[in-house]
Amino acid sequence: MTRWERTALTFISQTSDWDRNRDSTSFIPFSISLLRELFGAYSSLLLDFEDAYTAKVKAASPSYLNDLILNPGPIIALLEQHHFKAIYWAQIPERNPFDDLLQALSSAVILPVKAHGVNGVILFGWSEPQIFDAPARESLEIIQGRLREILQQSYNQRVLSGTMLRFTAIMHAMPQAIVFIGNDGHSGWVNAAAASLLQLERSGEQPPHVLSAVMGQLINSAENKEHINNEALQLFMSPDNQMKDMRWEIPGNTLSVSCMPVDGIGRLWEFKKL
């Protein structure tokens, strides 16, 4: 195994759970620092294309390179020539758009990175000449793919988390009491109105056995308990496994109760005060 292959495997190992458990905004600086150390490179940085006129140096080592501004036009033209694939310079050309960043260096690698929240290139430079043979290029392409993968997964996770927060807020704001009981025996959920109705200490995730117990207590408190039990029997015998607008006469309230299956994963109960 070559040092490049070992570097790729180490990088994948070091970032194995980043997309799930860590802040994506610090991922690029962490990756650049880790890869510089693994590569044995002298310099590393992110050149961020902030707009059509500004490419700004970030996460740089040496740090004095930070905040330098370059014209992105010539850099993008170079990337287009290489079809936005990684660029390997065993010997840095005398004329190149990174001239201010690669002074007194022998070799360089340019990794284009474009994903949600990142649009730019990661640049590594070496004082000593490097040989970018087939194993080296393959390993660097694996690293480049891993960067894109984690950035995409982190974006997906942020979108999913935001959607869940909005959905949960909507469900808690509903006046109807909503109870979900999963078929797996482990998942259950109630909104704020249901937690109040069932006298639970909190809304949100609840074990199904707890929900079954408190719903049983609610039925036992009803004035028409026998009628509710008969309707429950009809519910479980019905072909579509659902019933709507059942009436539960509980102390101080009359409830309209509906129950429906949820895509084979459980049941959703809705309680409305009449």
Domain boundaries of the chain, sorted by first residue:
3-163, 174-273
Same fold, 3-163 and 174-273: yes
Domain 174-273 is of which CATH architecture? Answer: 2-Layer Sandwich (3.30)
Distance (Å, rounded) from C-alpha 171 to C-alpha 192? Answer: 8
pLDDT value at residue 2: 84
Question: What pLDDT, on a 0 to 100 scale, did the predictor assign at position 57?
Answer: 97
The predicted pLDDT at position 194 comes to 97
Q: How far is CA 17 from CA 163, 184, 223, 261, in A?
A: 22, 27, 54, 35
End-to-end CA gap in the chain: 72
In whole angstroms, what is the distance from residue 106 CA to residue 35 CA?
18
CATH superfamily of 3-163: GAF domain (3.30.450.40)
Per-block mean pLDDT, blocks of 10 residues, the chain (274 long): 88 80 78 95 96 95 95 96 96 90 95 88 97 94 91 85 93 96 92 96 95 94 92 81 91 93 91 94
Instruction: Please tell me the predicted confidence (pLDDT) of residue 173.
Output: 96
8 A C-beta contact, residue 119 and residue 48: yes
pLDDT of residue 144: 92
Which candidate, 130, 69, 76, 139, places its Cα nearest to that of 101? 69
Please state the pTM of the whole predicted model. Answer: 0.70
Orientation of helix 208-220 relative to helix 225-237, angle to 10°? 140
> Is the CB of residue 78 less than 8 Å from the CB of residue 87?
yes
C-alpha 127/C-alpha 141 separation (Å) is: 22
> Alpha-carbon dihedral of residues 74, 60, 112, 16, nearest 10 degrees?
180
